[in-house]
Amino acid sequence: MDRAKILEELGPFCDIGDTPKITEKDGKFTLRMNRDGRPLKVIIDGGSQKVQTTWGVTTPRSHSSIAAMLSSEIFSNLKRWSETQYDLLKSISVTAKKLIPINGKTHDNRHISNVEETSALLNYLPRNQNSTEILLIDGAAGIGKTNLIEQLALLRSENYKTSLAPLILHVKSRGRVLSNIQDLMAFSLQTIRSNITYDQLPILVRYGLVIVAIDGFDELGDPNGYELAWTQLGELINFVRGNGTIILSGRDTFMGRERLMNDVKEIKKDIDVVTGLTLDSPNPDQARTYLRTCQWSDSDFSLPAVSVLLEEGSFAMRPVFLRLLGDVIKPKQLREKTENYLTSMLVTHMVEREAKLFGKAVDAVISPDKMEKFLMAFVREAARDMADSQTESLDESTFSWIAEAALEEGYPQEVIGLIKNRANVVGFLIPDERARYRKFINSQLMNFFLAQTTIDLVLKLELPKYLRRNLLGSEYLSIFIDVIAEEGASPESRMSKFIENAVWLAQNHSYVDRGIRNLGALLFASLPYFSMAEDAVLEDFEIDEALIRGTASAVSIKDVMISQLDSRGGDLGLLKFTNVSIVNLIANNSSRFPESFPNPKFITEGDGKQISDPKEIEEWLNARGRNHSETLSQGLASVAVSRHPVYKLLGRACRIRQYWLRAEDDIYGERVLKDKDWPLLRNILVKNDLLREEVRQASGRPSAFYHIRMRDRILAENHNDVEIAKFFSDLSASI
């Protein structure tokens, strides 16, 4: 303890315009300053670290440490903080019985199943002096990271009086780029009505009194990537070194314990504590338990449409969709449903429900079909406005204006007024932390509507503001891929025109903004839907993040630089790469690559492990398609199977995005089900209980629907997977 450090740590708490003064005598430091308009004298014993404070004319108080003094009402008043934070979070958080189950695993393989176990991870391991602890929470979009942090903050504020465990300040990125962490901390402090300022907060973190949780850290990007975010994080890590703890959350394609420790040079691997927690979707048993609390019965789970949704690995078991199934979509609405795409199915049900809630006066003038059309136009335009403004929420007056613009002309003013008032409270929107602001119930729904809007605008040869200035991340691109998968499967598909227009826009737009980069990302996401009959070429692109899912068409990729390519589950075997540079490749065992695929700088596997050694990268890619003979030695498919057309058919069928396949009104389903080798493949799938068949009424006539189970496991070809190994053995014996 010295004079400089005391001034650094306590100086930010003095009144604006005041200059703290410090003296030293007999090993004791005396600091004098004004605090909230009253003179404050602080005496610190340099040996025992005990403190005495005299604030104004009050009786001198003794504190066991500087930390105890900082938590008192003279400085941060953490007792009051905990009370106001608890009241706020209690009013906006879901009730205990409505909590989606947690399914997480730490980097050292500890299973985490509730908020209390997550809280116990903090300060669990012994620490060195002057260290920083980081809890990294990563996972896919919609997996529940934000809700978990919110529940952690609620738990700590509720128990503060008895435990005195550090409180948690939930700092959200709020969808902005070029964000400054200090600005975000200031907004979060204002939200809980704290008297603490952004420059005082790191002091409280350093002393272990408050934990700062930066939610959506991966969204703090600038136009040149994430250097600003890494730099700010490094500065914060150094500043709170002592007893400081930081929570970071981000999507699994960006965050990861290994990447964090490699990219943030300020982390001292031999001193700091870094705990990784990866969240996964609830397992089927957890999902059923949760839905039972929402009044679902055993008979509901036996419905074919429901049983498919609740399979292991199903997209439907992400918390965002489970919550919709529990709160909005009732089992009877799914009784005979075989919609191929989950998000559009849920949105359709929500639109149908919301269209009936505008009242009799509106129903008398506007038909249900037109109300549904209005609602879709309203939410799409709201999503675009948020994206253009780089924000997650809009004020109520803006929603009213959007509602009026989305309505057709010719309706009475009183009806327009009713619709504008009701539009602010439709089921797709919830209140924001700011008064009279609203946001979408989750970012996935916003991105779903934004993806639909993107297709419409590109078809009109328009390049909106959000495509010119925003950084399209993998969360948006993954939703965009689902939307174009449904668009591309339709017999009236607009994908060929979309691709043609996107290429034209890229060729005719300047490099002054991010437009060309983002168009490149959209075109890479669209690779499975390029025309098979043409020699297509994508060239001269620099792309920040690219995602490829499904089976890519035969396209030449030339003179392209990609910062991050996520190809998990994708088959890139037909692509031809020429002069292509890739920094980070995210891939897993089901990814497939052509001979021309370039070596990236490093590979991030599906479990977060990073590979940077050039020889290991070479071997890894060769084992997954780049060298055919090495691929055969790695997988379960025999030489005969891998060279038979049924193997490519199996890969194509397992990589199709939809849940149900049928031969009518679905281009990609038809290509699978009308293939000459489908009967052979179907028989082996049925034999191994990997195919679900249903005959239902569709478009007025009976139609066969097919669902392939365990698709990811089939593609991975893991030798330890007994069920899948038997399937490949049976397939080999049948050809």
494-531 confidence digits (pLDDT tens): 999 999 999 999 999 988 889 999 999 999 999 999 98
- Sheet architecture: strand order including 429-431: 393-395, 437-440, 429-431
Tokens 């009242």 found at? 359
**For residue 340, what pLDDT is reported?**
61
Residues 179, 166: Cα–Cα separation, whole Å = 26
Burial of 2 (0-12, 13-18, 19+ CB in 10 A): exposed
Sign (positive/negative) of CA torsion 296, 302, 303, 307? Answer: positive
Residue 143 tokens read as 């997996």
pTM: 0.77
Taking residues 89-93, what's their average pLDDT? 81
Residue type, 160: Y
CA distance 89 to 156: 11
| Distances 570 to 80, 191, 481, 546, 566 between C-alpha atoms, Å | 52, 42, 12, 12, 9
How far is Cα 65 from Cα 75, in angstroms, rounded to an integer?
Answer: 13
Mean pLDDT rounded to a whole number for the chain? 88
Q: What is the mean pLDDT of residues 343-354?
A: 83
Over residues 437-472, the pLDDT tens digits come to: 999 988 888 999 999 999 999 999 999 999 998 888
Q: What does the alpha-carbon distance between residue 284 and residue 314 come to, in Å, rounded to a whole number?
A: 9
The 10s digit of each residue's pLDDT in 257-294 is: 887 887 788 999 889 999 999 998 898 899 898 899 88
pLDDT of residue 177: 47
Terminal Cα distance for the chain, rounded: 78
Lowest mean pLDDT among 134-148, 220-234, 582-596: 220-234
As separate numbers, helices (DSSP H) first and strands (DSSP E) second, the chain gives 32, 22
**Beta partners for 500?**
none
Cα separation of 49 and 725, whole Å? 65
Provide the CA 220 distance to its chain's centre, in angstroms: 13
pLDDT band at 223, cuts 50/70/90?
Answer: very low
At 383 the pLDDT is 96
- 402 touches 396 (CB < 8 A): no
Percentage of the chain with pLDDT > 90?
Answer: 52
Contact 171, 213 (CB under 8 A): yes
pLDDT one-digit tens code per residue, 392-444: 899 999 999 999 999 988 889 999 999 998 888 888 888 887 878 999 988 88
| Residue 18 exposed, middle or buried by CB count within 10 Å (0-12, 13-18, 19+) | middle
User: Quick check: 432 and 439 in contact, CB under 8 A?
Assistant: yes
Beta carbons of 509 and 463 less than 8 angstroms apart: yes
The burial of 508, by beta-carbon neighbours within 10 Å (0-12 exposed, 13-18 middle, 19 or more buried), is given as exposed
pLDDT above 50: residue 178? no
Backbone angles phi, psi at 167, to 5 degrees: -75, 160
Q: Strand pairing of 602-605 and 576-587?
A: parallel
Q: What is the pLDDT of residue 733?
A: 94
What is the Cα 240 distance to its own chain's centre? Answer: 27
What is the distance between the alpha carbons of residues 317 and 321, in angstroms, rounded to a whole number?
A: 6
Decide: residue 96, CB within 10 A, 0-12 exposed, 13-18 middle, 19+ buried: exposed
Q: According to the model, what pLDDT value does residue 646 have?
A: 95
pLDDT at 310 over 50: yes
Q: What is the pLDDT of residue 385?
A: 96
pLDDT band at 254 (very low <50, low <70, confident <90, very high): low
Kind and range of the H or E run holding 299 = helix 298-301
Instruction: Check whether 701 has a pLDDT greater than 70.
Output: no
Q: Tokens 């703890």 sit at which residue?
A: 245
User: Using alpha carbons only, how large is the chain's radius of gyration in Å?
Assistant: 28
**Tokens found for residue 60:** 């001198």
Res 63 pLDDT > 90: yes
